[in-house]
Amino acid sequence: MAKPPARTNAMRLLDREGVAYTVHAFSDAIRAATDVAAAVGVPESQVFKTLVTLTDENVPVLAIIPSHAELDLKALARAAGAKRCQMASHRDAEKLTGLQVGGISPLALTHRGWRVFIDMSALARESVLVSAGKRGINLELAVADLMRITTATPAEVIRGQV
C-alpha cells in the first residue's frame, strides 16, 4: 500500500476553509499537466495548470488554464488591465513563487495577493484538478471553491476553443 502524500500548504488552506477535495498522487517525475491527466485517468480538460506571468510593470499575474490549452498573453493582459504580459521563465517562476515548476499551485499563493485569472472554460466544469503545491500531487475541488479561495476572475485567456 502506497504511503499517502505529505500534506501541503494548499491542503491545509482547504482544510481551514472547510473545502472538500480529493488528492490525486502520481509520479513526481511528471511535469506536464497533460501527462498528469493520463496518470490519474481524467480528461485533459479537467486538469488545469497554473502559469506565472509578468505584466509590463513586472507585476506577477497567475493564469489557470486547461492542461492542453495555450495561454493567450494578449487576452490575459487585457483582462489584467496591462499593456502586456509575458511568461515568467522557469527560474523566475520558481523564485517568485517559492515552488517548483510542475508544482505551482494557485492555492499555495493566495497570501501573495496576486491577481488570478481562470479560463472561462472552467465554468462549464463541476470540478477541476490543480497542483497541490508540490510535484506529484494534484487536488480536485469544485470550480466555485477554487475561484473563491484564489479570488480568481473568469476570463477568456486561452487561444482557440477547448
pLDDT by residue (tens digit) across 100-124?
A: 999 999 999 999 999 999 999 999 9
Q: What are phi and psi of 44, to 5 degrees?
A: -55, -30
32 pLDDT above the threshold of 90 = no
Q: What is the mean pLDDT of residues 72-89?
A: 97
What mean pLDDT, rounded, does the chain reach?
94
pLDDT of residue 34: 86
pTM above 0.75, yes or no: yes
Q: What is the mean pLDDT of residues 4-18?
A: 90
Residue type, 44: E
Is the domain 23-155 a CATH 3.40.630.30 member? no
What contacts 104, CB < 8 A, 6 or more positions away? 50, 52, 93, 97, 131, 133
pLDDT of residue 31: 82
Residue 120 Ramachandran class (φ > 0 left, ψ -120 to 50 alpha, else beta): alpha
pLDDT of residue 4: 60
Query: Which sequence spans correspond to the domains of the chain?
Result: 23-155
pLDDT of residue 96: 96
155 pLDDT above the threshold of 70 = yes
pLDDT of residue 33: 83
pLDDT of residue 3: 56
Cα maximum dimension of the chain: 52
Tell the residue number behind the cell numbers 517568485, with chain if given: 96
Helices (H), 21-142: 33-40, 73-80, 90-97
**Rounded CA separation 162/1 (Å):** 37
Q: Are strands 60-66 and 48-55 parallel, antiparallel or unpaired?
A: antiparallel
pLDDT of residue 160: 76
